[in-house]
Amino acid sequence: MVSIGDTAPAFTLTAPDKSKVSLADHAGERVVLAFYPAAFTGVCTAEMCSFQDSMAALNDVGATVFGVSVDSPFANGAFAKENGIEFTLLSDVHRTMITDYGMTFENFVIDGYTVANRGVVIVEADGSVGYVWVCESLGQEPDYDAIVAHCSQ
C-alpha cells in the first residue's frame, strides 16, 4: 500500500468516453483518487454521490477528483449518468493501479473476484502521496470533510 511521502505510482486508465487518463496529465495538480469496489452498489453509490456533493469545495481549492474501480468504462459511464456524477470515473479493468496502490479487495461477493478496496489517496502537486485512507470494512465511507480540509491546506 502507498504511504504518505511515497511517490504516487503512475497510471493510465480508461474513462467512460474511452479516452485515456494518466496521472502525468495532471502533474502540478492535487489529485484525489477515490477507490470504490463496484458501480451500482449501495455504499459505492453513496460514496461517489457524496464526492459529487463535495465537488464545489474541492474545485474551489483546485483539486481534481477521479473515481477508480475495476468496472468497465461502459458501466462507469452508465453509473455516472444515472447518479449525476460529473467527475471522471476511471476503469482499472486489468487491476494494475489498484495493485500498485495497494487497494485490492479479494473475494468480493464471489470467490476469486478482486475489486478495488474503498479508499482515498490524495496525490500532491509534486507527485507525492499526501493523504491515505482505507476503509476498515466495505460499509464504511471516507470522511469527506477531512478530504476537503486536507485539500484546503
Catalytic residues: 44
DSSP state of 140: P
How far is 140 from 129, CA to CA, in rounded Å? 22
Rounded to the nearest 5 degrees, what angle is found at the Cα of 115, between the Cα atoms of 136 and 142?
35
Q: Which residues pair with 131 in a beta bridge?
A: 122
Cβ atoms 127, 144 nearer than 8 A: no
Amino acid 29 reads E
Which runs of E-coded beta strand occur in 10-141? 12-14, 20-22, 30-35, 63-69, 88-91, 104-105, 115-116, 119-123, 129-134
Cβ atoms 16, 89 nearer than 8 A: yes
Quote the cell numbers at residue 121.
489517496
